[in-house]
Structure 1
Amino acid sequence: MKTIIITGGGSGLGKELALLFSQKGYHVVLAGRTVEKLSSVRNELADGGGNADVMVVDIRNREDVFSKVKELCGKYDVYGLVNNAGVGHFGPFGDMDDAQIVEMLDTNVLGTILMTKAVLPILLGRREGRIMNIISTAGLRGKVNEAVYCASKFAVRGFTESLQKEFEGRSIKINAVYMGGMDTPFWTDSDHVKDPSRLRSAREVAEFIMEQMEQDTIVIESKKG
């Protein structure tokens, strides 16, 4: 059974992608920092007949990432990685706290790069695989009160497009996914989006992604209809 690692798998889009990959017969590894959320999703997958495990990892920490991925690859046939974990802080750039800036860059950019660097040699060794980077439409265009968030997503866009060129014509598929805001807990502690209910659900976005996985670039705008 092929194993796919999904970072940020404890809620939102990560959870919905985990459910859909599980339905397609993948063994899913839910990666993140909050064991309670990850375990809840694992149990939900198991109740539906799926096969899942939890990997508690801080994707910003190189030693943690590489040791956990090495341990995982000793147990399972790792086929792919979905870099879904991300954080966002919004507001005027001049008011942005330094800690918020560092958190976004460390999680969104460094975390994606470290996880990819740890998993990629495994995929090269098996001569097939998939890396899917969940980037956001904030990686396509600048937005008001999202300067650093957009900067982090533009960085992941450049990283992803470069990997696509590097592995063009080879058996490792690299997906760049650009989706707009979703109606998820991402907005719980923010007033940046006034009415999240007008946005697409995480389930709807996950279904779009699964339908278009053979495309290098997947763009899903936020508004319904």
Structure 2
Amino acid sequence: MKTIIVTGGGTGLGKELALLFAQKGYHLLLTGRNANTLTAAKIEIEENGGRADILTLDIRSSEEISKKTNEITDKYSVYGLINNAGVGHFGPFQEISEQEIREMLETNVLGTILMTKAVLPLLEKQGEGRVMNIISTAGLRGKVHEAGYCASKFAVRGFTESLQKEYADSNIQFNAVYMGGMDTPFWAESDYVKDPSRLMSAKEVAEIIIEKINQDEIIIENKKS
């Protein structure tokens, strides 16, 4: 059975994508730092007839990624990677701390790059695969009070578009996914979005992504906003 790795797979869009890919017959390897949410997502997938395992992992650590990638190589037939984990800090640029800027760059950019670099050799070896980068419409245009977040997402956009060109003649597909805000736990510790319920659900967004899975660029504007 082919395995798809999902970073930030315990909640939100990561979990919803995992559920849908499980329905298509893939084995899911859910990664993140919170074992409790990962375990809950694993149980939900299994209750729906799918297969999943969890792997606690901090994608900001190259040492941890290298160690755990080596551990899974012999256990799973890795077919794909969904770089979904991300963080955002919003507000006037001068009020965003250096720590918050570093957290966005280290998670959103470095984490995506390190995970991709670790998994690509596995896909190259088998001659096929998929890397899906969840970028957000913040990677398409600048937004007020999102300077640092947009900077991180523009970086992932450039990274993804470059790999699409580099692997254009291979059987490895790179999806760049640009979606608006969603009603997920992403906003739980922020008052930046006053009413997340007006946003599309993660399930709705996941379903659209699956429908457009063969497109290199998937743009989903928030129809409810």
TM-score by length of 1: 0.99
* Partner in structure 2 of residue 67 of structure 1: 67
1:24 counterpart = 2:35: no
Q: CA deviation at 1:165?
A: 0.4
* Partner in structure 2 of residue 113 of structure 1: 113
* Partner in structure 2 of residue 179 of structure 1: 179
Identity, % of aligned positions: 67
Distance 2:112 2:175 in 1: 13
Counterparts in 2 of 1:149-188, with a 5 A limit? 149-188=149-188
* Partner in structure 2 of residue 56 of structure 1: 56
Distance 1:184 1:73 in 2: 32
Counterparts in 2 of 1:203-222, with a 5 A limit? 203-222=203-222
Q: Which amino acid aligns with 2:54?
A: V
SS of the aligned residue for 1:115 comes to helix
Q: CA deviation at 1:192?
A: 1.2
Deviations 1:15-72 (A, max 9, x none): 0001000000000000100000000100111111111000100000001011111111
Distance 1:221 1:121 in 2: 33
Q: Number of matched residues?
A: 225
Deviations 1:113-136 (A, max 9, x none): 000000000000000000000000
Q: CA deviation at 1:173?
A: 0.5
Deviations 1:77-106 (A, max 9, x none): 000000000000000000111110110000
Q: CA deviation at 1:194?
A: 1.6
Where in structure 1 do 4 or more consecutive aligned residues deviate above 3 Å? none
* Partner in structure 1 of residue 11 of structure 2: 11
Q: Which amino acid aligns with 1:46?
A: E
Distance 1:70 1:46 in 2: 25
Distance 2:147 2:63 in 1: 30
1:129 counterpart = 2:129: yes
Q: CA deviation at 1:191?
A: 1.4
Distance 2:35 2:223 in 1: 32
Q: CA deviation at 1:150?
A: 0.2
Q: CA deviation at 1:193?
A: 1.1
Q: Are the structure 2 counterparts of residues 6 and 45 from structure 1 closer, same or farther at C-alpha, using a change threshold of 3 Å?
A: same
Q: Which amino acid aligns with 1:29?
A: L
Say whether the 8 Å CA contact 1:198–1:223 is kept in structure 2: no
TM-score by length of 2: 0.99
* Partner in structure 2 of residue 198 of structure 1: 198
Deviations 1:182-217 (A, max 9, x none): 011111111111211111000000000001010000
Q: CA deviation at 1:73?
A: 1.5
Q: CA deviation at 1:169?
A: 2.4
Distance 1:173 1:43 in 2: 29
Distance 1:98 1:46 in 2: 41
